[in-house]
Chains A and B, each alone.
Chain A
Amino acid sequence: MENDELDSEEFEDFEDEEFTRDLVVPGEILTEDIVNFLPGRGTILNEKKDKIISLNIGLKKITKNYINVIPLRGFYTPRPGDKVIALIVDKNPVKYRCDINAKDFAILKPKNTFKRSKIKTRGRIEKDTGDTSTEKYSIGDILITKIISADRLNMPELTTVGKYLGKRSNGIVISIDTPKIPRVIGRSGSMIKLLKNLTKCHIFVTQNGRIWLKGEDLAHEKLLIDAIKKIEKEAHTVGLTDRMSEYIENEKKKRGIN
């Protein structure tokens, strides 16, 4: 139930030097120097092709000669390989339908809920019995899943086979604005480590804006939820990690927990 493997390049977006923290809105001109700069994420050339403009409300960031805008608001678009927390909302004998906080529901087929273990008995290959039925999970279950396929036209497909994946039967799931997820993880997982150490909770953060957490008791869980809400609100400020550690220590004293 660790998140350390998630600190890919994308999750470092927010943690950067102060000079990149210019706030921009849709249509705002980022540069008129199109010789030295290229439009990156969240940006576009205007119709006359003499300016680069922003598409989103976000923070301007220059990496090499690309101008990017890191969005502050936005919705989740599924991509293959993403880990997502899914809620089963419907099932029929051949598939589960899951809510993954995207525009479409995702499909989970029963064959992707079992490990492909082929048991040999007397030389004959026996099929795993549960392989083709949707008995394993029920409506209302929370699953940590991985997206195996997703494109614009078809419903995304999920799998629960893999490390850390599968059903969660305790704890609680909260959701925050998707673009602020990287901030909850922090540079190389620094924020998430801090949260884990200080609140002694298990946390699993996924790209679709959902966070599963489980603590010793309700008081610790509530503290962590409040802390995450604070991170969400202040995601675009600098020095957040230090402030959070201070905040949690203060709150612990106030609430009388350790």
Chain B
Amino acid sequence: MMSIRRVISKIERNYIINNLKNEERIDGRGLWDYREWKIKHNLVASAEGSADVCLGDTRVITGLKYEVGEPFPDIPDEGVCTVMAELLPLASPLFERGPPDEQSIELARVVDRGIRHADCIQTKKLCIKENEAVYILFVDIYVINYSGNLIDAGGISALTTLISSHIPEGKWVDDHVEWTGGYITGETIVKELPIVLTFGKIGDIIFIDPSLPEELICDGKISISVTKDKVTSIQKSGAATFSIDDIQMLNKKAMELGNLLRDNLNLWQYKVNIE
């Protein structure tokens, strides 16, 4: 394929569409196949949890840091988890320096919502003392190489980070927090594993996991987060419109492929045990 440009040539567009019409992809996949996943965990010693996730050529590194602070007044017994994403300019000539742009905010928001509404993070267990001290978790996603479908890669890397995390355990003594010497690990923090799946749409053709050339000519995309038996968040982006039938089909497909992916990746293998 041609190197990355903002303008995609007409013949490249035709080539991608002709491939899709044959139910094939330019990289040899079928319409419902993911690219290869490669996951490494806990590679950053300074973070309380980290993951390095490759989806094809897309590469995302995520780390978790924690702080102890006061809870929000409306949820006094729940910890807080925030997701931030940064599209590093080293990842692609299409990314520019400067404050977060729409694309990086969308990435952070979609990953955040996928996790938030899925009973994934056990926020109640992140409370040290009601009204006084809770954990505040920062999941920071850094895009190292951009080759399409950041949302799925970001979602998996955020999950792996949370599963591999090990946060010092605190207890409330008199009027301050003290370290017990133990750690809170992934099993305590994470319960459900919501998987976010992104589908691209070009013309009438819908397919999963758009690669970069496909993403650049996509009319639109739809990201669906699923747990084992529930849909937990949907985000449609781009200028395409989806019919009701399409969306019903995609929800079913997302459920089916999400369960398959969850089994294949077996993310619980990345949890750490600290004695």
Contact = CB atoms under 8 A, between A and B. Distances in A.
Direct contact of A and B (CB under 8 A): yes
Interface of A: 87-89, 99, 101, 139-142, 168-175, 210, 218, 221-222
Interface in B1-48: 1-3, 5-15, 18-19, 22, 24, 28
A171 B1 CA distance: 12
A142 B9 contact: yes
Given A172-B12, A175-B2, 8 more contacts: A89-B6, A99-B5, A142-B9, A169-B11, A173-B9, A174-B1, A218-B19, A222-B28
A41 B12 CA distance: 36
Interface residues of B, number: 19
Instruction: Tell me what chain B mostly uses at the interface: helix, strand, loop, or mixed.
Output: loop
Contact of A87 (B1, B5, B18, B22): B5
Contacts of A222: 28
A220 to B, nearest CB: 13
9 contacts: A140-B7, A140-B10, A142-B10, A171-B15, A172-B11, A173-B2, A175-B1, A210-B2, A218-B24
Nearest to B6: A89
Nearest to B3: A175
Interface in B203-249: none
A173 B11 contact: yes
A140 B2 CA distance: 13
A182 to B, nearest CB: 19
A175 B1 CA distance: 6
A132 to B, nearest CB: 24
B5 A89 contact: yes
Contacts of B8: 140
A147 to B, nearest CB: 19
Nearest to B1: A174
Nearest to B28: A222
Given A170-B14, A172-B15, A218-B18, A87 B3 contact: no
Interface in B82-119: none
B3 A142 contact: no
A89 B7 contact: yes
A203 to B, nearest CB: 15
Contact of A142 (B1, B11, B18, B22): B11
Contact of B7 (A99, A172, A174): A99
B2 A139 contact: no
Contacts of A141: 9-10
Contacts of A101: 3
Contacts of B6: 89
A161 to B, nearest CB: 21
Of B8, B9, B15, most A-chain CB atoms within 10 Å: B9
A139 B11 contact: no
Nearest to B19: A218
B117 to A, nearest CB: 40
Nearest to B13: A140
B129 to A, nearest CB: 58
Contact of B11 (A89, A99, A170, A218): A170
A139 B18 contact: no
A173 B15 CA distance: 10
B164 to A, nearest CB: 34
A173 to B, nearest CB: 5
B218 to A, nearest CB: 16
Interface string B141-179: 000000000000000000000000000000000000000
Given A218-B19, A218-B24, A173 B12 contact: yes
Nearest to A87: B9
A53 B2 CA distance: 34
Nearest to A168: B11
Contacts of A87: 2, 5, 7, 9
Contacts of A221: 15
A103 B28 CA distance: 32
Contacts of B22: 218
Contacts of A168: 11
Contacts of B5: 87, 89, 99
A257 to B, nearest CB: 14
A210 B28 CA distance: 22
A255 B12 CA distance: 23
Contacts of A170: 11, 14
Nearest to B22: A218
Nearest to A174: B1
Nearest to B8: A140
Nearest to A221: B15
